[in-house]
Amino acid sequence: MIPFSSALTNTPHWQQQLADAFRSPRQLLRHLGLETHWHPGLERVAQDFPLRVTRHFADLMEPGNPNDPLLLQVLPSLHEGEPAPGFGSDPTGDRLARTGPGLLRKYHGRALIIATGSCAIHCRYCFRRHFPYREERADRRHWPALFEILAGDPTLTEVILSGGDPLMLGNQQLEELVERIGRLSRVRRLRIHSRLPVVLPGRLDDGLIQLLARSRLACTLVLHVNHPAELSTPLAQALRPLRQEGIQVLNQSVLLRGINDDLETQVSLCEKLFDFGILPYYLHQMDKVDGAAHFEVPAHRAKELHQAMRNLLPGYLLPRLVVEEVGAPSKLPLE
């Protein structure tokens, strides 16, 4: 039987699930049986950068645990308003790296397209939480200008779709975008940076996998998973057909105080990623974005943790510990 809702509309199931996301601290805390942890100040913090989290991700949280590592990533905190020296609104120098509408160019051979400004989840530590998405995203009306710039770049071999979250675009728009990238004769690789499959595994639908499989480009999906509890059975199932089509799956995570800054969590994350067919790629030292100072892990602790991980994990499961420095020609190893 065709489910009632999709029989009546053409809206894909994942988009219906997006519409059903939690959008206020009160609503989320009530769902987790944590009403007593609600505070009106949380709603005020959420006015600047709203709470947003899918039901799937919320269901991976432990009810009744105010320190749940998934909850802490999305729940606004009163600490966000505290002044923090050295933190700013554009810690990665994105405004300087802009070379066209929604186009960032920092590293040799690779161009990054801000395909959309929206995300299915709002991570409180997000380095783009203050990014002017309204003006700076590669809307369809900007595509002609964008592709003219890309076509004129003889060094370009890889295009990265980022955002926001590029998988917030529907399959039809993505297919057009991927097809246009495929027409850039020197480009060989396409990379998609997305957290959507983690918070909504149904996003990896047949249409998406087929459109990537049809492209002549070698495709890599870089997920963003910070904690082993984010790796769910529906995600494992959704990744299988993708990998059968030869699409590489990597992971990047952000080192976050009180969430994943301990050896046991990091080792368990890397091993579980491998079980899911995902290779750890980067462990990022958090970018110093306003409002996120309470998540910061000092560099010396990050280095110690990484060294301890190196002693326990096979080399291919050790993510590179990196930090982004404005103006540097690559992400820099934290050494």
Ligand X SMILES: *Cc1c(COP(=O)(O)O)cnc(C)c1O
**Sites of contact with ligand X (CB under 6 A):** 97, 104, 106-107, 110, 112, 160, 330-331
Please identify, using beta-carbon distances, which residue of 97 and 145 lies nearer to ligand X. 97
* CB neighbour list of residue 93: distance below 8 Å, 6 or more residues apart: 106, 326, 327
Location of structure tokens 């690779």: 110
Nearest distance from C-beta of residue 14 to ligand X, angstroms:
26
Please identify, using beta-carbon distances, which residue of 52 and 147 lies nearer to ligand SF4. 52
Confirm or reject binding of residue 126 to ligand SF4 (CB under 6 A).
yes
Nearest distance from C-beta of residue 148 to ligand SF4, angstroms:
27
- Among 271, 270, 238, smallest CA distance to 252 is for 270
Confirm or reject binding of residue 165 to ligand SF4 (CB under 6 A).
yes
Confirm or reject binding of residue 75 to ligand SF4 (CB under 6 A).
no
Contact of residue 128 among ligand SF4, ligand X, none (CB under 5-8 Å per partner type): ligand SF4
Please identify, using beta-carbon distances, which residue of 49 and 213 lies nearer to ligand SF4. 49
Please identify, using beta-carbon distances, which residue of 128 and 288 lies nearer to ligand SF4. 128
Nearest distance from C-beta of residue 73 to ligand SF4, angstroms:
8
Confirm or reject binding of residue 121 to ligand SF4 (CB under 6 A).
yes
Contact of residue 126 among ligand X, ligand SF4, none (CB under 5-8 Å per partner type): ligand SF4
φ and ψ of 325, to 5 deg: -120, 130
Neighbours of 7 (CB within 10 A): 8
Confirm or reject binding of residue 288 to ligand SF4 (CB under 6 A).
no
Confirm or reject binding of residue 123 to ligand SF4 (CB under 6 A).
yes
Residues that bind ligand SF4 (CB under 6 A): 119, 121-123, 126, 128, 163-165, 195, 224
